[in-house]
Amino acid sequence: MRIRGMDFSSVPSRAHPIVIAECRLEADRLVLEELVDVPDLTRFEAALAAPGPWLAAIDFPLGLPRVFVADQGYATSWASYVQWAEALGRKGFEQCLLAYKKHKPDGQKEPLRRTDRLAKSQSPLKLYGVPVAKMFFEGAPRLLGAPVSIPVLRRLDVEQTVVEAYPALVVRHLGAGKYKGVKRGDGADSRRAMRERIVSRLEEGIGAPYEIRVELGTAARHRMIDDWAGDVLDSVLCAVQGAYAARRQGENFGIPADADPLEGWIIGSELALATRRPSESNPSGPLPLVLRAAAFAARKHRDQRRKDASGSPYVNHPIALANILCLEAGIEDPITLAAALLHDTIEDTETAEEELRGEFGDEVASTVMELTDVNWLGKIARKRLQISRAARASHRAKLVKIADKIANLRDILSSPPADWALSRQQEYFDWAKSVVDEVRGANGELERRFDELYRQRPGSNGAS
């Protein structure tokens, strides 16, 4: 059978195309025949219109959370709310999501589908970071207009089937870590090595429940390893999930009978139940969550040092943030404190978002993601992005941002990095103020403490 793994992009280009892994499934062998780059959405539509029989596994959310769809008044069918979203236009759809989130309390701004909770994937309403909401907007209407059957969401009597994939499920099954997103610098070599490890495991063969061996040509193998963004590898991982579904076609493609017909289903997400950690539900109250976060941060940052003159242990920094929030500002929310302790783990260590979701749950992981810089951007661009994103951050993320700037200003005043000239110290103080100014109103006590420190700006009147 023909299997197609599709790594999707809402804004494909020649530099960043949609990648389709065209494969042939023969019993327990998945033979990669071709890697196809699709540089625009028009050609993606043409790929969907290709004659069957084939099954494609695509890595974007094919459906939206029932709670959101019902709130908008379109809880009748998948097709009805996809048509509604398309009619809004891209800008209108994004404004609708922002308006929905604006009036929801923390923890309810980006609801999850049932399948997202099982897969530990992101909310389909997420507009920033990995903008899966934009992927839904560009992808779902094209699926609606294509001659394809989508289990649970829309069944047609055709030979072309599309299912939702999530490559992280296969990566997690392999026990692999972070493998993409860093082009050069810290972490680039380790992520390339991880891609090579994943590719080798695919070639050796994966055991139950996938039970598949992937056959690759030399050129495809090199491309999967060399692609720092991970798109090429992800397309093949999608194909693996597609093969899993195809071999269960007579069993509803492996999808549970009670899957929500509004939300859809990520292929294989039900398998995550077997590996879900009991700690995620945190039955013992808030203190164990914070203690586990502190232990996790200590382990992840154990080989790192701060840039101060003494080279103090890096973990002192996230602990300082938690102290500022709890002991100085009286904040006792365990999600906020855990996020403060973990705020640099994804950005500065070999920690994946999925790992945090598995260990600490969706709310902690989502807050940490809000606090994580986009590593592939240059330093200046990252700093500008922090400022522009600050005002849109959740209340919890705003609190951690202010505490982070307080801790850093204190460190600069007491023991600045040896190679930081006065001008660089002043630049950091000014940039930190620009970030805090965007989140004012979040917590008066934290803002007061920040302002006291800013008045001590190095080289300014009154500064020591």
Instruction: Give the whole-angstrom CA distance, residue 15 versus residue 442.
Output: 40
161 - beta bridge partners?
Answer: 55, 149
- 268 and 365 both lie in a single domain: no
295-330 as b/e, with b when 16 or more CB fall inside 10 Å? ebbeebbeeeebebeeeeebbebbbbbbebbbeebe
pLDDT tens profile 213-269? 999 999 999 999 999 999 999 999 999 999 999 999 999 999 988 899 999 999 998
Strand-strand pairing, 160-164 and 18-26: unpaired
Instruction: Give the whole-angstrom CA distance, residue 22 versus residue 236.
Output: 9
State the catalytic residue, choosing from 45, 71, 159, 348: 348
Q: Has 419 been annotated as catalytic?
A: no
pLDDT at 272: 60
Helix axes 316-323, 286-300, angle to 10 degrees: 150
Instruction: State yes or no: pLDDT of 279 exceeds 70.
Output: no
- 270 and 294 both lie in a single domain: no
Q: Is the dihedral of CA 76, 81, 82, 86 positive or negative?
A: positive
| Mean pLDDT score, 147-152 | 97
Instruction: Give the whole-angstrom CA distance, residue 397 versus residue 167.
Output: 27
pLDDT tens profile 389-435? 888 889 999 999 999 999 999 999 998 888 899 999 999 999 999 99
Q: Has 347 been annotated as catalytic?
A: yes
pLDDT tens profile 91-145? 999 999 999 998 887 778 888 998 998 888 989 999 988 899 999 999 999 999 9
Is the peptide bond between 417 and the residue preceding it cis, with omega within 30 degrees of 0? no
- 42 and 186 both lie in a single domain: yes
Instruction: Give the whole-angstrom CA distance, residue 60 versus residue 130.
Output: 10
Whether 459 maps to a domain, the answer reads no
pLDDT at 277: 43
Confidence of residue 285 (pLDDT cuts 50, 70, 90): low
From residue 402, alpha-carbon distances to 135, 374, 390, 405 in Å are 32, 19, 10, 5
- 189 and 261 both lie in a single domain: yes
- This prediction's pTM: 0.64
Q: Is 267:244 a contact under the CB 8 Å cutoff?
A: yes
DSSP 18: E
Among 253, 276, 299, the domain boundary falls at 276
From residue 95, alpha-carbon distances to 103, 218, 262, 263 in Å are 13, 46, 22, 21
- 251 and 292 both lie in a single domain: no
Among 276, 301, 320, the domain boundary falls at 276
Instruction: State yes or no: pLDDT of 10 exceeds 90.
Output: yes
pLDDT at 282: 42
Strand-strand pairing, 29-38 and 18-26: antiparallel
What torsion, rounded to 10 degrees, do the Cα atoms 181, 183, 187, 192 define? 80
- 38 and 187 both lie in a single domain: yes
- 122 and 144 both lie in a single domain: yes
pLDDT at 275: 44
Q: What domain count does the chain have? A: 2
Joined tokens for residue 324:
């500022």
pLDDT tens profile 297-333? 999 999 898 877 778 899 999 999 999 999 998 888 8
Whether 462 maps to a domain, the answer reads no
State the catalytic residue, choosing from 37, 280, 308, 347: 347
Whether 464 maps to a domain, the answer reads no
From residue 460, alpha-carbon distances to 142, 344, 453, 457 in Å are 58, 30, 12, 6
Whether 102 maps to a domain, the answer reads yes
Cβ neighbourhood burial of 388 (10 Å; 0-12, 13-18, 19+): exposed
Q: Which of 5-9, 237-241, 268-272, 335-339 has the lowest mean pLDDT?
A: 268-272
Q: Is 81:96 a contact under the CB 8 Å cutoff?
A: no
pLDDT tens profile 363-390? 899 999 888 875 555 677 778 888 888 8
Nearest to 151 by CA among 237, 75, 62, 70: 62
From residue 363, alpha-carbon distances to 53, 136, 327, 397 in Å are 41, 22, 22, 11
- 296 and 257 both lie in a single domain: no
| Mean pLDDT score, 444-460 | 92
Whether 47 maps to a domain, the answer reads yes
Nearest to 385 by CA among 352, 98, 439, 377: 377
Alpha helices in 210-315, H assignment, sequence order = 218-226, 231-246, 286-300
pLDDT tens profile 59-87? 999 999 999 999 898 878 999 999 999 99
Question: For position 355, which CATH number holds?
Answer: 1.10.3210.10
Among 276, 291, 319, the domain boundary falls at 276
Joined tokens for residue 415:
């023991």
- 120 and 177 both lie in a single domain: yes
Q: Which domain does 350 fall in, by range? A: 279-454
Percent of the chain with pLDDT over 70: 95
Q: Is 366:338 a contact under the CB 8 Å cutoff?
A: no
Q: Is 44:18 a contact under the CB 8 Å cutoff?
A: yes
Whether 225 maps to a domain, the answer reads yes
Q: Is 262:77 a contact under the CB 8 Å cutoff?
A: yes
Is the peptide bond between 151 and the residue preceding it cis, with omega within 30 degrees of 0? no
Joined tokens for residue 432:
């930190």
Whether 463 maps to a domain, the answer reads no
- 38 and 150 both lie in a single domain: yes
Whether 460 maps to a domain, the answer reads no
- 263 and 303 both lie in a single domain: no
Cβ neighbourhood burial of 348 (10 Å; 0-12, 13-18, 19+): middle
* Amino acid occupying residue 133: A
Confidence of residue 276 (pLDDT cuts 50, 70, 90): very low
Helices and strands per DSSP (H, E), number in the chain: 19, 6
- 267 and 295 both lie in a single domain: no
26 - beta bridge partners?
Answer: 29
